[in-house]
Chain A
């Protein structure tokens, strides 16, 4: 993102703060796909991802006064998306019964048809992502799906670049092991 785009976005934010809320639609249109995709990869469910992404835009709007003009709106928004998704996952885990856990853990009992079908739709990757700890999942999603650089991910997650690299390293190792266990040839 170059300076002029940031200035343009800051102008839109200023107009929103002055009561011209219609301007916010420009920011929603611009970042909705990425916000939705991050949420989808974090929670692994299309409907929940839509809720998370929409609520993130609404929360961002509600606290626009706190937006710092030296930063990027997108980084700020994605931080809200990731945090909302993590809150959701935490709350969901708290309510999941022990006997339901096997449904979210990769199963070896899948039929070959299911395995082929999953592989075709990319579900294997999503299942493996779902099994990663949240703090590994977010960095893997932002680094290897959204292809952001570590500096921006550091801004989004509020974690140092070095710490992120350690998490990415561990996350990739876990991903490799999970995929191997699931029998997926990726």
Chain B
């Protein structure tokens, strides 16, 4: 059998858990007012709980989510879902300068080859009647540039002789008729920066520690 003190204690916790009936609560209020020890016990527990309930809530430490995400074990989707995702799911490509440069080189190379082939066709059709000339197309991806020209052995390194045209995709382009032979050249960006063509067929040392782009024109 529990004594009165224990029964009162049970009732205190019943009240704290919200399980006490209204008459039990009234009984406890009367007893607490009459018994100083019981009042202290009730006040101490209520005070402790108040401290717990109002205790400081700390925000999660900085970078919490990023650290969790970095440490997640790989989870492979079912094969069917992976194929579906590959084909139909939107994706964000992550770029850095190296991949951007590599992609530019590949795109420009494909573009140059296509144009060159097409132009070569046109020129070869014409060469039999006139002088043997091949139209060479040069490209430079420079979306930020305001002016791009090409200077080389075919125009006596004049920076203003052959000006490229900017296309919407940021690629500057020019087609120049050249006789068969080997030519060194450089792009001149905004009248001051001399840039070696990253898509050149080959390169030659310019004698000043830089490399000139080289184009070989053949029929």
Chains A and B come from one and the same complex: yes
Q: In the complex, which of the residues A18, A58, A186 contacts B71, with contact meaning CB atoms closer than 8 Å?
A: A58
List chain A residues, Cβ under 8 A from B51: 122, 125, 186
The number of chain A residues with a CB under 8 A from chain B is 45
- Tell me if A133 is interfacial: C-beta within 8 Å of chain B: no
Known: A36-B60, A37-B57, A172-B48. A58 touches B72 (CB 8 A): yes
The number of chain B residues with a CB under 8 A from chain A is 38
Question: In chain A, what residue has the closest Cβ to B56?
Answer: A122
Interface residues of A (CB under 8 A from B): 16-22, 24-25, 28-29, 32-33, 35-37, 40, 46, 50, 53-54, 57-58, 61-62, 64, 122, 125, 128, 140, 144-145, 147, 150, 165, 168-169, 172-173, 175-176, 179-180, 185-186
Compute how far the CA of A131 lies from the CA of B84 in the bound complex, rounded to whole angstroms. 54
Known: A140-B52, A144-B52, A186-B48. A32 touches B65 (CB 8 A): yes
List chain B residues, Cβ under 8 A from A25: 65, 68-69
- Tell me if B53 is interfacial: C-beta within 8 Å of chain A: yes
List chain A residues, Cβ under 8 A from B55: 122, 125, 145
A19 touches B64 (CB 8 A): no
- Tell me if B75 is interfacial: C-beta within 8 Å of chain A: yes
B75 touches A21 (CB 8 A): yes
List chain A residues, Cβ under 8 A from B193: none
A57 touches B68 (CB 8 A): yes
List chain A residues, Cβ under 8 A from B73: 58, 61-62
**Nearest Cβ on chain A to B97's Cβ, whole angstroms:** 24
Stretch in B39-47, B98-106, B152-160 touching the partner: B39-47
Known A62-B73, A168-B13; further 9 A-B contacts with Cβ < 8 A: A21-B69, A24-B68, A28-B64, A36-B59, A54-B68, A145-B55, A150-B17, A172-B45, A186-B47
Query: Interface code B184-209, partner A: CB below 8 Å = 1, 0 otherwise?
Result: 00000000000000000000000000
List chain B residues, Cβ under 8 A from A173: 9, 45
**Nearest Cβ on chain A to B84's Cβ, whole angstroms:** 9
